[in-house]
Amino acid sequence: MPLALLALAIGAFGIGTTEFVAAGLLPQVASDFHLSIPTAGFLVTGYALGVVLGAPLLTALGTRIPRKLMLMLLMGVFVLGNALCAVAPSFALLLVGRVIASLAHGAFFGIGSVVAAGLVAPQRRAGAIALMFTGLTVANVVGVPLGTLIGQHYGWRATFAVVAVIGLVGLAGVAALVPQLPSPAAGGALRRELAAFRNVQVALAMAMTVLGFGGVFAAITYITPMMTGPAGFPQSAVGWLLALFGVGMVIGNLVGGRFADRALMPMLYVSLGALAVTLALFTVTAHHQLAAAITVPLLGAFGFATVPPLQKRVLDQTSQAPTLASAVNIGAFNLGNALAAWLGGLVISAGLGYTAPNWVGALLTGSALLLAVLSAALERRSARGAVAGSPVAASA
């Protein structure tokens, strides 16, 4: 695999750290600003919505900018947002900083996915995408637990300051290792990018992304109160539980990338089905420490096993103009995150308990599995129609 993938993974590490570390900081933020846990959860929802808005907007604005320069600019925006979080005097400004940082997220992963896929042979594209996303998953093994630990000992502001520094390292990595690449836009490229969305399979793939991966965030957004409440873990255990989640993510991401290159749709069926079952079981296992500690990494593994095939599904369906669709699909991941975090907060506020979001996640992921089956059925029907209408079939 090209060395440039390491640079993309470094940027992904910084982005992954800030995205997921908020879940481990919710109690401290809520305490400092005298808020409820569901209200503090808007740090997760706001970030996710920022990704949804920023992915298509910044990708479209950057269609005439060389991809390497665009990736560097996006990392600069990321650093600015996290620096604002570190000094925010109010929850409102903290939320603004989170949104600014999130604007870079979707475009970075979207453009990065296209760059990664373009650096390798077609049969290795899912693996290359998975390697880039490894930075995000490793962030959950190292960055998120470390960030949570820093937040517990030195305050949540210190965590965001460290994340800003990580972003600077990511910016330097892109500058040093990613090759000079041409602007993707020439002669109406943006129109071609937009035209890709007319494909119903693209819409179905993005709907699978929203619902499928969203199920993970229904649970992980409220993992801290869930583990310190029903499971009975001390606050100090949250860091290593998040590390277990991260280990599962790393394994699932690499396995998902490997098998998506061999059999994409079967990999989606298995990963989405296993994730839905795990989320449903988590409603029960979250009441027992050992069972919870086993379920958390499984949640990460099955959740991130869906990422490479979901991203590659979109790239396969938009092979002639993939950049904008790739970025929008990253936004779709985070739209699912925002939806799931909001729904999880609703069921908690309704008095159903801290484990109720797991049922929300199971239902969302189960719906994605049904869409995957529908998508494959429509694809088979279209293929049969194409064969029936071919000149050879007509002459026969």
Coil, strand or helix: which one is 122?
helix
What domain range includes position 320? 4-381
Phi-psi map region of 42: left, alpha, beta (phi>0 left; psi -120 to 50 alpha): alpha
Does residue 393 fall inside a structural domain? no
- Dist CA 52 CA 226 (whole Å): 27
Whether residue 240 is contained in a domain is answered as yes
Cα–Cα–Cα angle for 24, 52, 334, nearest 5°?
40
Count of residues for the chain?
A: 396
pTM for the full predicted model: 0.73
pLDDT digits (tens, 9 = 90+) for 182-214: 655 554 566 776 766 777 888 898 899 999 988
If one counts every other C-beta atom within 10 angstroms of the C-beta of residue 61, the result is 12
Q: Per-residue pLDDT for 180 more than 50?
A: yes
In a domain, 386, yes or no: no
- Collect all residues with Cβ–Cβ distance below 8 Å to 381 and sequence separation of at least 6: none
The residue with tokens 């409220």 is: 222
Model confidence pLDDT, tens digit, residues 299-352:
999 998 988 888 888 877 776 666 777 778 877 887 887 788 889 888 988 888
Which secondary structure element, helix H or strand E, spans residue 322, and what is its range?
none
Report how far apart, in Å, the C-alpha atoms of 292 and of each of 146, 270, 278, 282 are.
Answer: 21, 22, 11, 7
Whether residue 374 lies inside any domain: the answer is yes
Domain harbouring 207, CATH code = 1.20.1250.20
391 within domain boundaries = no
Range with the poorest average pLDDT among 92-96, 223-227, 378-382:
378-382
173: tokens are 């990595």
Distance between CA 15 and CA 2 in Å, rounded? Answer: 21
Helix intervals (H) in the chain: 4-33, 37-40, 42-61, 67-87, 91-118, 125-138, 144-154, 156-177, 189-195, 200-220, 223-228, 238-260, 264-285, 289-305, 307-317, 323-349, 356-388, 391-395
In a domain, 348, yes or no: yes
Per-residue pLDDT tens over the stretch 249-282: 888 888 888 888 788 889 999 999 999 999 999 9
State the total domains in the chain: 1
> Does some domain include residue 208?
yes
Q: Is residue 387 part of a domain?
A: no
One-letter amino acid at 134 equals: T
Around Cβ 234, how many Cβ atoms within 10 Å? 8
- 200-220 vs 264-285: helix crossing angle, rounded to 10: 20
Q: Is 234 helix (H, G, I), strand (E, B) or coil?
A: coil
DSSP 294: H
